[in-house]
Structure 1
Amino acid sequence: MNNLQSYIVLAACLFSIGFAVVVTKKNLVLMLMGAELMLNAVNINFVAFSKFDSVPEQGQVFSIFIMLIAAAEIAVALAIILKIREHYQSVNPDELTSLKN
């Protein structure tokens, strides 16, 4: 995998799978996992572009920031999902009708 196109195709496949999971799943935890897949696809793009850039540290620094944001997102989102499950006894977004008001 020495050319940029291979990395972009891999990232596009990961992003597509993550987007499909977010759109089709009926479980908040699985939707969160799909969002993480999309963030990992973005990380692959940043690192791939940094490999072919004159200043390779830029993409890698952005990738580290995305990993930090993803870790914070997981911590906050899982806490919210656990509170929702405790209150509604379900993590199915279709059953959470009182949140719509």
Structure 2
Amino acid sequence: MSALTAYHLVALVLLAFGVFGFVRRKSLVGMLISVELMLNGAGLSIAASGQLTDADAAMAQLSSLLVMGLAAAEATLALAIILVVAKRFGSSGTEDVTELKG
């Protein structure tokens, strides 16, 4: 097994854990952590492909930085939404928040 295959398998495991956690979690914070796992798997796959193939390594690093920036922006926005939902409904569980009208 080559090193690239090993990195892609680890990235696939991160993606699978993220999808499983997103589907199975009941809290919004748990879902946010699962999305972060999925984005980390994608960044790992991009960085490994750029370093271990004939692709341009600088572009792979920039793409990984873009994924990291996207993850940070998504986390900030999602946490703000979670805080508003928790303040308004008194809970951050998805089963308690069924409709978002005042």
Q: What interval of TM-score do these two structures reach, taking the shorter chain for normalisation?
A: over 0.9
Cα deviations across residues 51-101 of structure 1 (Å, max 9, x unaligned)?
12331111110000111111111111101100000000011111112238x
Q: Give matches, 1:48-63, under 5 Å.
A: 48-54=48-54, 55-63=56-64
How many residues get paired? 100
Counterpart CA distance in 2 for 1:14 and 1:71 is 17
TM-score of the superposition, structure 1-length normalised? 0.92
Indicate the residue corresponding to 1:23 in structure 2. 23
Structure number with the higher helix fraction is 1
TM-score of the superposition, structure 2-length normalised? 0.92
Q: For structure 1, which runs of at least 5 residues remain unmatched after alignment?
A: none
Indicate the residue corresponding to 2:9 in structure 1. 9
Counterpart CA distance in 2 for 1:89 and 1:99 is 13
Indicate the residue corresponding to 1:85 in structure 2. 86
Counterpart CA distance in 1 for 2:53 and 2:100 is 46
Counterpart CA distance in 2 for 1:79 and 1:18 is 21
Q: For structure 2, which runs of at least 5 residues remain unmatched after alignment?
A: none
Counterpart CA distance in 2 for 1:5 and 1:90 is 42
Counterpart CA distance in 1 for 2:29 and 2:71 is 14
Name the % identity. 35
Q: CA RMSD in A?
A: 1.5
The list of structure 1 runs, each at least 4 consecutive aligned residues, that deviate by more than 6 angstroms after superposition, is none
